[in-house]
Structure formats: C-alpha cells, structure tokens
Amino acid sequence: MFNPKEGSGIAITVLSEGCTGKGELKEKGDVRIDGVWEGTINVEGTLTIGKSGKVNAEVIANNMEIGGTIEGNVQVINVLKVNSTANIFGDIAVPKGKLNMDEGAQFNGKIQMKDE
C-alpha cells in the first residue's frame, strides 16, 4: 500500500518471523515486523506489522499497516490501514478520514480522529 518507488533509496528494516526484539526502535525509513517486538516504536516512514507479527509497544508512525497483533496505543500521522487479520488492543489516534479498517479486523480500544 505504501511501497516506496524502486530505487528511491528508502531503507527498509525487517524483523523476520521467528525473531524477537525488545527496547526502543527508532527508524527514519520503513519498518516491517513479522516477528515479535516489545517496547516503543517511532517510525518516520511506514510501519508494517505482518500477519505473523506481534507487537507490545507504544507506537508513533507516519503511515502504518497492521495485519498482525498489537497491544499498545498507536498514533499515526498520516494513513492507517488495518487488514482483516489484525488484532488491536489499545487506543488509536489518526487524522480524520485517514483510517481504513477491513471487515473482520478485531479492535478493542478507542479511536480518536483529529482534523489534519
């Protein structure tokens, strides 16, 4: 959905399925999590939590796509895409009109939509 153009020079950091990480994750580029992360996440690019991804963290991201499980509050600056396989346990803050949630997604929390 938010894939950078080929040759754009944007770095992508990946935490593969079977890998775990803990602490503070700060990235200027894009991040994809298919493993397990616990702590805090701050991504200036796009954060993608894959279907097998499990995140227990407070998250701030420019763009975000969730296909796995997240426990913690999420603040998205631009666009949030929630896939049908997503499980979200926490509050979401996103600009008005910038949330796209597929049928079947599980969500337990509050959504705050602000004017841009």
Cα–Cα separations (whole angstroms), residue 104 to 18, 69, 80, 98, 107: 25, 13, 16, 19, 9
State the pLDDT at residue 11.
60
Indicate whether this model's pTM tops 0.95. no
List pLDDT tens digits, range 37-90.
999 999 999 999 999 999 999 999 999 999 999 999 999 999 999 999 999 999
What's the mean per-residue pLDDT of the chain?
A: 91
Alpha-carbon distance of 84 to 1, in angstroms, equals 15
30-33 and 12-15 beta bridge pairing:
parallel
Residue 109 tokens read as: 């929390």
Which of 63, 83, 71 lies closest to 3 in space, CA to CA?
63
Q: Show me where the domains of the chain are located.
A: 23-94
- The percent of residues in the chain predicted with pLDDT above 70, rounded, is 90
Of 39, 46, 25, residue with least CA distance to 70:
39
The pLDDT-based confidence of 10 (bands split at 50, 70, 90) is: low
